[in-house]
Amino acid sequence: MNKTRMAEVLAAHAEGLIGRPEAMQRLDMTAEERSRLTPLFQLAERLRQSMQPVRPSAAFVRSLGRELVDNARRQVALAKRLRRAAMIGAAALGSLVSIASVVGAIVFVVARLRARAQARALHAPTG
């Protein structure tokens, strides 16, 4: 028996123990599978008989619910802050690029005017 088949049979048995016997009825177990898994079935049945179901208190459920909602709200708020910071950063970067391009254009124009002035001074007749 391979591991997948064993897991499938054991899962169906567990479902049968918690009130879904149709899960076990759908499986066609061979005699070999049944003999190999009988000790596990017996152990699971003994555990179910000796262990009482546990239900959390209503206060715990409410507290957990509030905690989960609070965590979700914090995550949403953090995501909004991060998005806002990214937008502000992108806007600032865009402004810096714009300023840098204006400064670059001014430097280019000034350098060009100086080059022209120097060229005129060199070509001007001296008298």
**Residue-wise pLDDT tens digits, 80-113:** 999 999 999 999 999 999 999 999 999 999 999 9
Q: Which residue type does 36 have? A: R
Does the pLDDT at position 27 exceed 80? no
pLDDT band at 114 (very low <50, low <70, confident <90, very high): very high
Taking a C-beta distance cutoff of 8 angstroms, is the pair 7, 37 a contact?
A: no
Q: Over the range 78-88, which residues count as b (16 or more CB within 10 Å of their CB) and which as e? A: eeeeeeeeeee
Does the pLDDT at position 48 exceed 80? yes
Q: Which residues have C-beta within 8 Å of that of residue 17, sequence separation ≥ 6? A: 44, 45, 48
pLDDT band at 79 (very low <50, low <70, confident <90, very high): very high
Q: Which residue type does 84 have? A: R
pTM of the model: 0.43
Mean pLDDT within 53-79: 95
Mean pLDDT within 30-51: 87
Q: How many CA atoms lie within 13 A of 1 on its CB side?
A: 17
CA quadruple 49, 50, 53, 59: dihedral, nearest 10: 170
